[in-house]
């Protein structure tokens, strides 16, 4: 009986009809009720309330209501019977022919629009699968110098900007100047932006990127960075980007020159043991014995911090025996090398191009 009395008080409390004077006694008794039984009573009270509500609300016959509405509408505005018009086969055929002619004329007289749309959405891929450095001309006449295993994509976006996505490997860019079309290189979210200049983007093994400017000016930063958060480089300056910490460290040309010898020694100590070739080096000289020219040129690249493109397959397959004084100017070494191998060289902004010498024509 006591439980039945408390259940009635619980129903009053749920329906907000419990007298305030009874609150204290109600909550004292509430603490003594088994929680499982309390939950059951609450569920039964709420279910009974829902059933009562459904019983009190009559469900109208919607179809009868719809008919009554239509009768009132038709009494004011009676419906008009429409006659079905029959369209013959010839009318359909004539309409189709006219539309076909219109589309054909649009196709014939607007090829430039179509070509522009196609070109803007065109994506070009470039990859170096060789073990030596190669250069490739991009659609905008810029040059990309791809080191072994390098891979990039090129696209001209809707705004007219030239966008490069560098996937892997070291690449040097000789940008064709076009003030109306900025040239950007994106490597893992960090963007190098230029108008007309020469720079390199070199991914490092320790989750770093080394970006070096050889000529002109560039800005470097995250793709969504504000102008004040960018790093601006002048000629022969570098910036090292830490991809894990998202920090950028700029190095001036003066600082780089002071640390050049130590930097070169570190590169040679990492490079030469991987050759399995007869190459020995000291602080004064480098000795070569039957060393493949492809390996020789890699040593020269690191020793003088330049990039070398060898256009002759025959020249790459030759071997070299000799020594090199580390203080010897690069031009002197290249002159002697080309005299021995019958080639010519061109040095421009730290980029050396080796090619076969042009044959002398017979004066007769």
Dump pLDDT digits (tens) for 294-333: 989 999 999 999 999 998 888 998 998 888 888 899 999 9
C-beta separation of 41 from 10 below 8 A: yes
Beta strand ranges found along 175-262 (DSSP E) = 183-187, 190-194, 198-203, 208-215, 218-222, 231-233, 238-242, 247-251
- The DSSP-derived string for 260-310 is HHHHHHHHHHHHGGGT-SEEEE-SSEEEEEEEEHHHHHHHHHHHHT-EEEE
Structural domains of the chain sorted by starting position, each given as residue range(s) with its CATH number in brackets: 1-82 (no CATH), 118-258 (2.60.120.1440), 260-356 (3.55.50.30)
Task: List pLDDT tens digits, range 133-164.
Answer: 999 999 999 999 999 999 999 998 877 789 99
C-beta separation of 217 from 186 below 8 A: no
C-beta separation of 271 from 298 below 8 A: yes
Task: List pLDDT tens digits, range 38-57.
Answer: 777 777 777 777 666 555 55
> Residue 298's closest CA among 311, 289, 307?
307
Chain centre distance of CA 330: 38
DSSP state of 116: H
Cβ-Cβ contacts under 8 Å for 31 (sequence gap 6 or more): none
- What does the pLDDT read at residue 247? 95
Mean pLDDT across the chain, nearest whole number? Answer: 81
pLDDT band at 277 (very low <50, low <70, confident <90, very high): low
- What does the pLDDT read at residue 161? 86
C-beta separation of 195 from 158 below 8 A: no
For the segment 252-279, the average pLDDT, to the nearest whole number, is 85
Statement: residue 120 has pLDDT above 60: no
C-beta separation of 320 from 293 below 8 A: yes
C-beta separation of 295 from 310 below 8 A: no
For the segment 202-224, the average pLDDT, to the nearest whole number, is 93
Cβ-Cβ contacts under 8 Å for 127 (sequence gap 6 or more): 146, 150, 151, 152
C-beta separation of 221 from 229 below 8 A: yes
DSSP state of 32: T
């Amino acid at each position: 009986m006591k439980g039945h009395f408390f259940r009635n008080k619980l129903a009053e409390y749920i329906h907000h009809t419990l007298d305030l004077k009874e609150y204290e006694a109600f909550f004292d008794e509430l603490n003594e009720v088994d929680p499982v039984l309390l939950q059951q009573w609450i569920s039964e009270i709420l279910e009974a309330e829902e059933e009562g509500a459904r019983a009190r609300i009559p469900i109208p016959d919607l179809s009868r209501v719809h008919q009554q509405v239509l009768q009132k509408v038709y009494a004011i505005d009676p419906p008009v019977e429409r006659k079905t018009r029959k369209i013959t086969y010839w009318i359909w055929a004539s309409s189709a022919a006219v539309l076909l002619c219109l589309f054909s004329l649009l196709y014939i007289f607007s090829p430039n629009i179509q070509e522009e749309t196609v070109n803007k959405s065109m994506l070009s891929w470039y990859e170096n699968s060789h073990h030596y450095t190669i250069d490739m001309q991009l659609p905008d006449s810029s040059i990309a110098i791809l080191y072994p295993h390098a891979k990039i994509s090129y696209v001209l976006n809707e705004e007219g900007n030239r966008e490069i996505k560098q996937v892997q490997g070291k690449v040097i860019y000789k940008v064709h100047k076009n003030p109306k079309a900025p040239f950007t290189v994106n490597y893992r979210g960090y963007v190098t932006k230029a108008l007309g200049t020469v720079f390199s983007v070199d991914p490092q093994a320790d989750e770093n990127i080394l970006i070096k400017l050889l000529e002109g000016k560039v800005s470097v930063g995250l793709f969504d960075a504000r102008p004040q958060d960018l790093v601006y480089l002048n000629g022969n300056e570098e910036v090292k980007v830490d991809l894990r910490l998202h920090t950028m460290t700029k190095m001036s040309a003066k600082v780089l020159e002071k640390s050049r010898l130590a930097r070169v020694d570190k590169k040679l100590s990492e490079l030469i043991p991987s050759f399995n070739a007869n190459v020995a080096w000291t602080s004064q000289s480098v000795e070569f014995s039957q060393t493949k020219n492809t390996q020789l040129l890699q040593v020269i690249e690191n020793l003088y911090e330049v990039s070398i493109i060898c256009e002759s397959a025959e020249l790459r397959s030759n071997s070299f025996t000799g020594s090199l004084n580390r203080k010897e100017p690069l031009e002197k070494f290249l002159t002697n090398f080309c005299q021995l191998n019958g080639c010519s060289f061109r040095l421009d902004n730290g980029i050396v191009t080796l090619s076969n010498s042009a044959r002398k024509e017979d004066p007769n």
